Structure 1
Amino acid sequence: MIEADQVRDDAWIRAEEPSAVGAVRRLAIDLAKTAGFGDERVGQVAVAVTEAVSNLVKHAVQGVALVRPCPVAPQVVELITLDRGPGMPDVARALRDGYSTSGTLGIGLGAITRMASSYDVHSLPGRGTLLAVQFAAKGTTEPPPASGLVRPIGEEVVSGDAFAVSTGEQDITVLLFDGLGHGPAAAHASREAVELFLEGPDDEPLAILRRLHDGLAHTRGGAAAVARVTPARVSYAGLGNISGWITHADDRQGMVSVPGITGHQRRRLRQYEYELDEHATVVLHSDGLTDRWSPTTMPGLFSRSPAVIAAGLLRDAGSRRDDACVVIVRPRRDRA
């Protein structure tokens, strides 16, 4: 479970100039040292990050990079990159040792992933590449079963959107909160919501939502949704304009939020139960993403890890005219 002081705005860096390489590398080194990595491992993280961001600068269209503590494992350093082209026609080939083709993002990809504890990549020619890499102090790990991304409006440095994740043996509980408006006041409401969620993340989603509504009256409030995902079911309670979806490769099902403003206006709060099959993925997002996206226009994306799915939705459905947040949960069926 993340702690309140580990909730922060994601610092996206545009990979348009060579200076971006050093900026992301320095952040990665600082995070690795803070997480207790040894000198050799810190060096490996620095090399992998340098390689990945250098590729964006040299070859990508509208490439951006993010390095941060992993939302579900703060001792793990996570690198996420996304771009809008040129994409790779054969990702499997790019991952092989020694593969290098001038002018493509495949250069060095095998080396990057060999230094990773876990990774995932999705790429389509002409659409772009999504890369998520996790670095632990030692050993290999599985890609995290849940992930979320936040991006502030325009050139703002703080976002009014926030999320939090709590993991159990077989369940994952997530909060997504969209503070009313933008800027510091909206961000304050979102941080308060996260702290209230963390007071009792094992409570039922409806109880958590009621706690948020009662506790946010002194803020400007916002929209909130809480989802608990188990191997076979999702329990969902939402208030305001948060989109909740159960998705598959070729369709999606909406989940119900009641109208209102958390902390100020509400109808009767409700908790809804939805069954999940073995291929389902749960998606929550703020209105900073259009709800007109469809899995059918994103070939292969929903077979990837939560971090890569989140990056793909933020890239393809996100708006720069609003704060944006997306959270993805893959049921933990390996522990069922």
Structure 2
Amino acid sequence: MEPVNATLVAESGDVCWLRADVALAAAARREAGRLARGVCLPEARVADLELCVTELATNLLKYADDGSLVLRVVRSRDRAAMECLSLDSGPGIADVQRALRDGMSASGSLGVGMGTVTRLADVSGVHSLHGRGTAVYARFWAEEPFAPVGPVDVGGLTRPIGGEQVCGDGWAVRTAGDGDALLLLMCDGLGHGPLAARAAERARSAFRDSRRTEPAAVLADVHQALRGTRGAAVAIALVDPTARRVRLSGAGNVSALVATPDGRSSLPSLPGIVGVQLPRPRTFEAAFPPGAALIMHSDGLNDRWKPADFPGLFGQAPALVAAQIFNQAAVRRDDAGIVVAVHRQP
């Protein structure tokens, strides 16, 4: 296909992971305020965000076996927002709807409850698995609340390996022409730390700059850009909601699948290292009906999970889908990254 103009839809941005400990609430408020002011959230919204993360931190310490708070800067179609995520490993919420009632507090001590998170955030969601863990999601836009454009919504999450400040994984999403089709990049820079992060950032830059729409052609552009780096595992997917198809071309250890209520369809990548040794590209296809979700992730997550393990998840916002799969499947010390595209029901 001929080169086309493209618009960046979303990509991995600044992410702060905070483990649950006695200082979590204070640390979360401080980091949330710093990041929010950096993307020019109004002071009233900064205060709402700080209250939200305080509630999430307090709940983690009181009720969860173990967990983390994640604060992330979101940039989507030239707009900015703050996302906060609470992830824990159990015991789960027995009655999610009751927990979301404004003013409900299991212990009565905080007095605001999870309902306040839902009320204050522009977008929010909760998914809980009995005995396995809960993911809570809230987004605060810097301007007026912004609804997704088109039938496919996207979100993702990254985490650096323990002891590192930067992540060697990255993802990005851009438009693919004048229709609703989107191109997704998932990249895992070889190794860990700054050199892996540099490869991932260069891959994202090449993906943003490429005007190709065929996954194999975009992969070739990324391969050229990564020459001279340590290389990366990279997969490029073209999501076409009109044709209800996904096409993917990749090299290296990146997992991709389409999850539907009936199961999952895998989209393999070939052996190789993008930027070092790229095999002759091949493109694989799968159906992408309404209600389906495309999930792409690095080897920082194991690939043994099944869509049936997550009842009720795939109707949620993509960032929450990514967070709960991350919560359940991540290798605890490794770099990890995941990007999710959800085909919303008409």
TM-score, length basis structure 2:
0.88
The residue identity in structure 2 corresponding to 1:154 is G
Conservation of the 8 A alpha-carbon contact between 2:234 and 2:252: yes
1:162 corresponds to: 170
Rounded to whole Å, the distance in 2 between the matches of 1:221 and 1:302 is: 32
1:270 aligns with 2:270: no
Deviation readout 1:51-95 (Å, 9 max, x if unpaired) = 112211222221101111125365111111100112111111111
The letter of the residue matching 1:264 is: V
| 8 Å contact kept, 2:256–2:294 | yes
Between the aligned partners of 1:214 and 1:140, the Cα distance in structure 2 is 38
Q: Partner of 1:188 in structure 2?
A: 198
Instruction: State the distance in 1 between where 2:145 and 2:12 align.
Output: 25
Matched with 1:147 is 155
Residue type at the aligned position of 2:249: A
1:51 aligns with 2:55: yes
Taking the TM superposition and a 5 Å limit, the aligned residue runs for 1:190-269 are: 190-200=200-210, 203-231=213-241, 232-269=244-281
The aligned amino acid for 2:239 is: V
Q: Does 1:93 align with 2:93?
A: no
CA deviation vs aligned residue, 1:8-30 (integer Å, no higher than 9, x gap):
4522100222x221222122222
Alignment partners' CA distance in 2, 1:250 and 1:275: 12
Please state how far the C-alpha of 1:190 moved relative to its aligned partner.
Answer: 0.9
What is the identity, as a one-letter code, of the residue corresponding to 1:196? A
**Distance in 2 (alpha carbons) for counterparts of 1:48 and 1:107:** 10
Q: What is aligned with 1:110?
A: 115
Q: Which runs of 5+ in 2 are unaligned?
A: 1-6
Deviation at 1:126, TM superposition (A): 1.8
Contact 1:205 1:227 in 2 (8 A): yes
**Which ranges of structure 1 fall in alignment gaps of 5 or more residues?**
none
Q: Does 1:287 align with 2:324?
A: no
2:184 matched to 1:174? Answer: yes
**Residue 21 (1) aligns with residue 31 (2):** no
Higher mean C-alpha displacement, 277-286 vs 263-272: 263-272
Rounded Cα–Cα distance in structure 1 between residues aligned with 2:164 and 2:43: 35
Q: Number of residue pairs matched?
A: 332
> What is the one-letter code of the residue matched to 1:95?
L
**Conserved? CA contact 2:213–2:238, under 8 Å:** no
| CA distance in 2: counterparts of 1:215 and 1:106, whole angstroms | 53
| 89-98 vs 286-295, which moves further | 89-98
Asked whether the 8 Å contact 1:240–1:259 carries over to 2, the reply is yes
Which residue in the other structure is 2:39 paired with? Answer: 35
CA apart distance, 1:185: 1.5
> 1: distance between equivalents of 2:111 and 2:147?
22
Contact 1:146 1:330 in 2 (8 A): yes
Secondary structure of 1:11's match?
Answer: strand
For residue 288 of structure 1, what is the amino acid of its counterpart? G
1:167, distance to aligned residue in structure 2 (A): 4.6
**What is the CA distance between 1:153 and its match in structure 2?**
2.0
* Superposed displacement of residue 129, structure 1: 1.1
- The 3-state SS of whatever aligns with 1:303 is coil
Tell me the CA shift for residue 104 of structure 1: 11
CA 1:160–1:37: 2 relative to 1, 3 Å: closer
> C-alpha distance in 2, partners of 1:106/1:330?
35
Q: CA RMSD in A?
A: 2.5
Deviations 1:30-53 (Å, cap 9, x if unpaired)? 232233332222211211221112
Post-superposition offset of 1:142: 4.5
Question: What is the Cα deviation at residue 262 of structure 1?
Answer: 0.3
Instruction: Give the deviation of 1:164 after TM superposition.
Output: 1.4
Q: Is the 8 A contact 1:166 1:173 kept in 2?
A: yes
Counterparts of 1:60-139 in structure 2 under 5 Å? Answer: 60-72=64-76, 75-102=80-107, 108-137=113-142, 139=144
Residues 9 and 158, structure 1, Cα contact 8 Å, conserved in 2: no
Deviates more, 1:64-73 or 1:96-105: 96-105
8 Å CA contact retained: 2:173, 2:182:
yes
Overall identity of the aligned pairs, in %: 42
Q: Residue 161 of structure 2 contacts residue 167 of structure 2 at CA under 8 Å; is this kept in 1?
A: yes
